[in-house]
Amino acid sequence: MYCKKCNAELVEDAIYCPQCGARVDGKKECFKCGKSVAENSVFCTYCGTRLDGKKECPECGTAFDGDFCPHCGKKAELSKTGVSEISEPTKTDTRCSEVRKKVFSVLKITKQSFLYAAVCILFICSFFISLSVVQTEGGEVVMREESGATSFYFLIKFFIELKDFFAQAGTLGVDYYPELKAALYLQAALCCAVVAVIIIFCTVYFTCGTVAFVNSLRNKKEVAMSKYVITPAVVSLGLHILLKSLWGVSAGTSGASIIIKPGIVSVLNIVFVSVLLAGAAVLHIITNAKHEKKNIVRYIISGLGAIFAFILLLTVAGKLINIKSFGIGSALQNWNGSMSAPLFMIGIMGAIGLLSSNALTTEILSVMDQSIIIFVFYILIFILSIIILYMFSQGITDNKSSLKRILAIVLSCFVFVLSVTYLILTIILLGDIQVASIGASSICAIIFSLFVLGLSITSAILLKKKGRYEEIDGGKMQAEP
């Protein structure tokens, strides 16, 4: 879009031109009651104030410009609406207006800088993805180790370590079968794919965002930087959670435990980007406070939807099953732990590759098919949850897209149905594993998918009502008596 007054390029959903300050959404405000009416309205539909700047002759009622009526020559005083001529702004008013414009300009540049800084952090941290292995004894941390300092561990070094591991196993005469090799290389390939997608997304959006930010500074025009941040932030966040679930195991025995969680760089990435996005949102509300009051409810609904979609991602990636008193030999009899859906499937494959007993292999194979089906449902729920999170995040900056809200409702329904099926399949699986109990992920997935569905419906209803109010406010009801 372009400004009709100065022909400056406008950002999406712009209300005012950033160059000349002209209103560009086809509306104007009544200077008496402050409500928005259609741009071509002569009278305010709420208080009846005349808005075209003309005076009315007290004798013949003729509307005119100037001090005297062109029909009867009567000097103009007050119009029939009781509105006097607007006085010229004083020097003090002009000075205050200039200061205010400069302050708002600085705030807008700061907001742009916050968003661009978030893009830069996403880009830099995409090359330093790692997992942290924490070992505790008696409640105290005795060992903390990062799985590689950079993302290239998952892209290159992980495969090299696996190759060396199998070569050493062959040298030592350790017996294993192709299923173990397939399981470990499958885990490595999935981790590699996740890290590669994060790097690609963050690099592409960093490049595009840098070009847009430089052009905005050079041309002194505000650019919608949020579109260069939201997509890589949502994708990166979701894939970080997916990467953790590929290693999602916690184990313990006799007061000791081992937990695998995201590395420190990944945590700082999420924290810094969240703070910068929150800061940019606050600055946006401050610089547009007069016009954003009516959008507070939309911000709250979209924000809550994004939060619950994020929690849905976390819970689905959590504990699928809890295993107790399981093991071979006296040293492992008191072992207990939990596994995510991806790692459970990979673990079943790996276990088959270590067993030489046909009876045990047949028994474990009986749950292999179920673990694969559960993994497929997990991936479907995860992908749809990321899309829903993206839509709610976009809903914060876009208040006009009814298609996105309808699609969010449809996807939320799918996620709820998939979550119910996910729970049922997990319960069926536990029938074949006597030493296991159900984890929290499949139960919480149903709960939070219901919250997401409810917020999706609420958001769509609010958008419909808002559209109806804007239609009335836009002047289509002005003919009503």
Nearest to 257 by CA among 146, 343, 143, 340: 143
The neighbour count for residue 261, using CB atoms within 10 Å, is 15
Q: What is the pLDDT of residue 330?
A: 42
Q: What is the pTM of this model?
A: 0.71
Most confident of 92-96, 281-285, 308-312: 308-312
The domain spans of the chain are 1-41, 53-85, 97-287, 293-481
Nearest to 444 by CA among 385, 396, 362, 403: 385
pLDDT in tens, 307-359: 899 999 988 888 888 877 544 444 445 567 788 888 888 888 888 888 777 77
Distances (CA, A) of 86 to 81, 90, 231: 14, 12, 47
Q: What is the pLDDT of residue 418?
A: 92
Task: Quote the CA–CA distance of 369 and 292 in Å, as a whole number.
Answer: 53
CA 171 vs. chain centroid, Å, equals 49
Strand (E) or helix (H) holding 416 = helix 402-430
Task: Tell me 357's DSSP state.
Answer: -
pLDDT in tens, 421-469: 999 988 888 877 777 788 888 898 999 999 998 888 887 777 665 544 4
Q: How many residues does the chain have?
A: 481
pLDDT in tens, 106-134: 888 888 889 899 999 999 999 998 888 77
Structure tokens at 458: 């609420």
Q: What is the chain's Cα-based Rg?
A: 31
Q: What is the pLDDT of residue 149?
A: 74
CB 119 within 8 A of CB 209: yes
The neighbour count for residue 96, using CB atoms within 10 Å, is 12
Q: What is the pLDDT of residue 140?
A: 65
Which range has the worst mean pLDDT, 187-196, 234-243, 312-321, 334-343?
334-343
- Helix spans in 126-153 (H): 152
CB 129 within 8 A of CB 195: yes
